[in-house]
């Protein structure tokens, strides 16, 4: 990237010199030195052939005497010289370059250059200089290059550079300066390149560089700068290249950048930026290349982060280990963008809308990212895609498991789904954060999905926070950032970010500790993740496992053996934290299936456990229903309508009396069918199930269940589970329905389960946590219940109930 003009120019000069042959210079040469005619480029990059005396690395303690009078370049690098007198060099009237680097000078007063008015380039880097007094370089009126880098300079007098009106390049980097004095530059009206990085300067003050109207390149790298004042770059009207490499900038200095309208190359690499927000890079009309690499804290590039950059051709956003989100509309009006480098980040995808917003894009680098090969990245394999992948064989799928290590460009378009679940990167924020009382905290949560997900937060008290709801302590921004202001012990606890769309939802939690942080559980030495088959049926399999501690995400994938051999896509379910079993439904009977559970931990490592399972062969009854899935719901609906009709026929809504005065059916079987229930269930629904709670009893002494809702949709299943939030609303748990005795021993109370939302794949169970969206409520009953009801009403039939 051409962000630093000076280093590249030097590299080009060195390369050019290396290709030109060296010619011997036949003159009396000092002992052990080499006298040659070598290529040389002036500070203005003009090529010349210079008569050169090379006395480098000879352990000299003084300048050799009797140098050839026609010497133009004198190289005395890496010796032990401590002083240079006027008489030692005054007779070299043609001397244009003097290299005294890596010697032992401690004071510029030990160097008398007054007899060298023709000198163009002076190298004093890597000595032991500590101070520059006024008029330190008197007599060097023609000097164009001055190298003072890698010394021990801690003080520079205001008029140290007096007399250097022709100086073009000044290197002050890697010294001990603590401040930048604008008076230094008043003596340097022609300066074009200033390198002052590597000094632990406390701050860049307003208008520090104002005298440098002709400056083209400014390097402020490695200075521990935490912020740049709004007018620090005032007066740099000619500036083209600017580097803030390796500083402590937590935000883009957008106001300061407005002062340099002609900027072409900007380097912000290796700064602790957490996000690039809307308008951070806007209306920079001449910017051609931008570098945002090696940022340990960078999480997201938000909507309209780069706007109206009409000349930007290359964008480098690489090697950012936490960068997991680029908003689909992050880039706006970048008509000349040709190269987009996004390699070695934590991106799961690059949205098609992002690519389409760059009409001139030619190539993109996505290698080294954990690409999720689903609907978001489908554009990569769509017909008509003109964008070229840089290193396509290294751009690999990380999910789903059956596509792992396959090049993205080799995955058939049809194997990627039309819609996909939200995904919050495990690297968005750590599992626990410590903050001092009274401080503020900002948490960035982002997710990619199709359709675009909604993001909100849930506090430790169970309060849902959205962008439309701001309080004294909390604020949620539309892109998903949560700001906690002046945190106290009352705000400590578990905060949950929720990303949801019509397909499903994903969650990620962070424990906020106010004051002293508790010990965090480790990954658990010797912890073995084991996936077990609990039950097998013709059309579904129940799996279980023990969740390891300190997990951040759990994914379950499954596929039939034939699908694996044919490299077809597998089904995937992203499970809520705390889930320890899963019922895979809609399977084929008498078929081998391969299921894998992948658990990701807070320290970014993962564990994988897999198991083979075979579904049972279906009985004739199972097959009859399996071939006609709708028959299950029809039969169940018919029986329940018969029950309702019988209740109405009896007129009282009371159970029909059987032999001996006992009720034919328990009283709870008619709840919800006589008088309307006062219980209303509406979205969002959160069920707090307490297995230990005692239920009321009827007059006959039977335990009653909660009233049923009138079912409009029935889902009949042999196995079921209830997903519920804990009383604090923080964590998902699984609760099994209680067992109640009676004529229908396996019915128990009818319980409610949530079914998947629209757009969920046919073979994926719901992964929505309770309360995340509008529900479809389904009543679960089992085979014995339906058959018992049929017998109770005198029906001469045996109902076979199954799932598929």
Instruction: Encode burial over 130-142: b for 16+ CB neighbours within 10 A, e otherwise.
Output: ebbeeebbebbee
- How many residues are recorded in the chain? 804
**CB of 356 closer than 8 Å to CB of 386:** no
pLDDT in tens, 433-454: 888 888 889 999 998 888 889 9
**What is the structure's pLDDT at 798?**
39
The DSSP bridge partners found for residue 132 are: 156
- β-strands 606-614, 169-171 pairing: unpaired
**What is the structure's pLDDT at 300?**
93
Q: Give all domains of the chain, ordered by start, each with its CATH number.
A: 421-514 (2.60.40.10), 532-614 (2.60.40.10), 620-690+704-792 (no CATH)
The burial of 519, by beta-carbon neighbours within 10 Å (0-12 exposed, 13-18 middle, 19 or more buried), is given as exposed
Beta strands in 277-349 (DSSP E): 281-282, 289-291, 300-301, 306-307, 314-316, 325-326, 331-332, 339-341
Q: Which residue in this structure is represented by tokens 């979205």?
A: 683
DSSP secondary structure letters along 311-328: T--EEE----TT--EE-T
What pTM value is reported for the model? 0.63
**What is the structure's pLDDT at 379?**
85
**What is the structure's pLDDT at 431?**
82
- β-strands 571-575, 551-560 pairing: antiparallel
Residue 573 has phi, psi (to 5 degrees) of -130, 125
**CB of 249 closer than 8 Å to CB of 274:** no
**What is the structure's pLDDT at 559?**
84
The burial of 588, by beta-carbon neighbours within 10 Å (0-12 exposed, 13-18 middle, 19 or more buried), is given as middle
Q: CB count, 10 Å around CB of 39?
A: 18
The burial of 619, by beta-carbon neighbours within 10 Å (0-12 exposed, 13-18 middle, 19 or more buried), is given as middle
**What is the structure's pLDDT at 340?**
96
**What is the structure's pLDDT at 547?**
76
User: DSSP letter at 43?
Assistant: T
Instruction: Encode burial over 49-69: b for 16+ CB neighbours within 10 A, e otherwise.
Output: ebbbbbbeebebeebbeebbe
**CB of 159 closer than 8 Å to CB of 135:** yes
Dihedral sign, CA of 124, 126, 127, 130? positive
For the record, the structure tokens of 370 come out as: 């954990």
**What is the structure's pLDDT at 318?**
96
Q: Could you tell me the CA-to-CA distances from 674 to 49, 697, 790 in Å, in that order? A: 107, 18, 20
Positions of the chain with pLDDT under 70: 1-21, 383-384, 516-528, 549-550, 561-569, 602-605, 620-638, 640, 643-804
**What is the structure's pLDDT at 563?**
59
C-alpha triplet 678, 768, 731: angle, nearest 5°:
85
**What is the structure's pLDDT at 299?**
92
For the record, the structure tokens of 70 come out as: 């026609």
Region for 381 from its dihedrals, namely left if φ exceeds 0, alpha if ψ lies in -120 to 50, beta otherwise: alpha
**What is the structure's pLDDT at 743?**
31
**What is the structure's pLDDT at 765?**
37
């Amino acid at each position: 990237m051409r962000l630093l003009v000076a280093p590249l120019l030097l590299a080009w000069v060195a390369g050019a010199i290396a290709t030109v042959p060296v010619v011997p210079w036949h003159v009396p040469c000092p002992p052990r030195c080499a006298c040659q005619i070598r290529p040389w480029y002036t500070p203005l990059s003009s090529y010349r052939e210079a008569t050169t005396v090379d006395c480098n690395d000879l352990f000299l303690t003084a300048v050799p005497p009797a140098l050839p009078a026609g010497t133009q370049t004198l190289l005395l690098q890496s010796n032990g010289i401590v002083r240079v007198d006027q008489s030692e060099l005054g007779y070299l009237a043609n001397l244009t370059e003097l290299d005294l680097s890596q010697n032992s000078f401690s004071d510029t007063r030990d160097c008398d250059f007054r007899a060298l008015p023709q000198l163009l380039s002076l190298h004093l880097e890597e000595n032991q200089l500590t101070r520059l007094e006024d008029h330190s370089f008197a007599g060097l009126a023609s000097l164009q290059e001055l190298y003072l880098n890698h010394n021990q300079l801690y003080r520079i007098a205001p008029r140290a550079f007096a007399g250097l009106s022709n100086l073009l390049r000044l290197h002050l980097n890697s010294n001990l300066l603590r401040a930048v004095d604008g008076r230094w530059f008043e003596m340097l009206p022609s300066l074009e390149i200033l390198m002052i990085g590597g000094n632990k300067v406390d701050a860049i003050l307003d208008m520090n560089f104002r005298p440098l109207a002709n400056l083209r390149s400014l390097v402020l790298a490695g200075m521990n700068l935490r912020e740049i004042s709004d007018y620090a770059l005032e007066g740099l009207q000619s500036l083209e290249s600017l580097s803030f490499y390796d500083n402590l900038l937590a935000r883009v200095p957008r106001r300061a950048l407005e002062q340099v309208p002609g900027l072409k190359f900007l380097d912000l690499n290796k700064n602790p930026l957490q996000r690039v927000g809307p308008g951070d890079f806007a209306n920079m009309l001449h910017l051609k290349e931008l570098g945002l690499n090696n940022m340990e804290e960078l999480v997201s590039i938000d909507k309209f982060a780069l706007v109206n950059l009409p000349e930007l051709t290359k964008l480098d956003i690489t090697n950012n280990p936490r960068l997991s989100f680029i908003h689909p509309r992050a880039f706006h009006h970048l008509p000349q963008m040709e190269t987009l480098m996004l390699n070695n980040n934590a991106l799961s995808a690059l949205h098609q809308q992002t690519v389409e917003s760059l009409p001139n894009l030619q190539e993109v680098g996505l290698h080294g990212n954990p690409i999720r090969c689903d609907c978001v990245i489908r554009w990569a394999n769509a017909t008509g895609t003109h964008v070229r992948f840089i290193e396509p064989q290294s751009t690999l799928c990380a999910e789903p498991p059956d596509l792992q290590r396959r090049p993205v460009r080799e995955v058939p378009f049809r194997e990627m789904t039309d819609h996909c679940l939200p995904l919050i990167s495990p690297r968005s924020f750590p599992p626990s954060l410590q903050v001092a009382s009274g401080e503020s905290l900002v948490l960035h949560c982002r997710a990619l999905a199709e359709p675009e997900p909604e993001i909100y937060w849930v506090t430790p008290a169970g309060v849902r926070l959205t962008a439309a709801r701001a309080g004294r302590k909390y604020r949620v921004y539309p892109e998903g950032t949560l700001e906690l202001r002046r945190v106290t012990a009352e705000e400590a606890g578990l905060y949950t970010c929720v990303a949801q769309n019509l397909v499903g939802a994903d969650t990620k939690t962070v424990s906020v500790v106010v004051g002293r942080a508790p010990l965090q559980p480790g990954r658990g030495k010797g912890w073995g993740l084991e996936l077990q088959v609990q039950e097998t049926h013709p059309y579904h399999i129940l799996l279980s496992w023990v969740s390891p501690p300190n997990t951040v995400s759990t994914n379950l994938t499954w596929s039939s053996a034939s699908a694996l051999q044919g490299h077809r896509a597998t089904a995937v379910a992203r499970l809520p934290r705390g889930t320890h079993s899963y019922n895979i439904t809609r399977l084929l009977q008498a078929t081998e299936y391969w299921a894998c559970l992948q658990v990701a931990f807070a320290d970014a490592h993962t564990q994988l456990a897999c198991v083979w399972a075979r579904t049972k062969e279906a009985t004739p009854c199972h097959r009859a229903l399996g071939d006609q899935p709708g028959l299950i719901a029809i039969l169940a609906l018919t029986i329940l309508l018969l029950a309702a009709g019988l209740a109405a026929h009896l007129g009282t809504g009371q159970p029909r009396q059987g032999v001996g005065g006992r009720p034919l059916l328990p009283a709870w079987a008619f709840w919800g069918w006589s008088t309307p229930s006062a219980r209303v269930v509406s979205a969002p629904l959160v069920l707090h199930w307490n297995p230990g709670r005692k239920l009321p009893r009827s007059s006959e002494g039977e335990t009653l269940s909660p009233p049923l809702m009138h079912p409009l949709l029935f889902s009949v299943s042999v196995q079921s589970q209830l997903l519920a939030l804990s009383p604090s609303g923080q964590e998902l748990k699984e609760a099994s329905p209680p067992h109640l005795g009676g004529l229908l021993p396996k019915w128990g109370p009818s319980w409610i389960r949530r079914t998947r939302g629209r757009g969920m794949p046919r073979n994926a169970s719901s992964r929505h946590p309770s309360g995340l969206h509008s529900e479809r409520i389904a009543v679960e009953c089992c085979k014995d219940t339906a058959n018992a009801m049929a017998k109770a009403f005198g029906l001469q039939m045996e109902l076979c109930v199954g799932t598929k």
